Amino acid sequence: MSQVRRDRGDRARRSGRQAEVWAALWLMAKGYRILGFRLRTPQAEIDLLATRSGALVVVEVKRRQDLNTALEAVSPDQRERLRRAGASLAQGRPAFRNATVRLDLVALAPGRLPRHCVDAWQGG
């Protein structure tokens, strides 16, 4: 692998981590409790896992130029894997066995406040 490619990957990882921290801070300011970062499950990697009002929230974080691009960046297959991962985590935690599992998106764009989309894909 070339050094240029390695450097590009390193920058992308740092940018992704920074976006996840900003998203977590934004959600905490809105009253969410963050349960975990970058949780690896057999189904998918969850960027953020949070809870609020009895719901277990799987949060996908995307840094893009605009909200529509961020929404489109998560494929239907990836959404389904994230939903399965959230359901699996809920079943493994007694406090969340009967909780609603929701898939949210936090989109970050240069020069703009984060945009939190609750139930971003509305079950679809």
Mean of pLDDT over the chain: 90
Helix (H) or strand (E) holding 34: strand 33-40
Work out the end-to-end distance of the chain between its first and last CA atoms, rounded to an integer number of angstroms: 38
Determine the structural domain holding residue 30 and report its residue range: 3-117
pTM, entire model: 0.88
| Token pair belonging to 32 | 């969410």
Nearest partner of 31 among 61, 57, 64, 66, judged by Cα: 57
Query: Domain for residue 124, yes or no?
Result: no
Query: Domain for residue 73, yes or no?
Result: yes
Strand partners, 46: 39
Total number of domains in the chain: 1
pLDDT in tens, 94-118: 989 899 999 999 999 888 889 999 9
What CATH code is carried by the domain that includes residue 110? 3.40.1350.10
Q: How confident is the model at residue 4, as a pLDDT?
A: 83
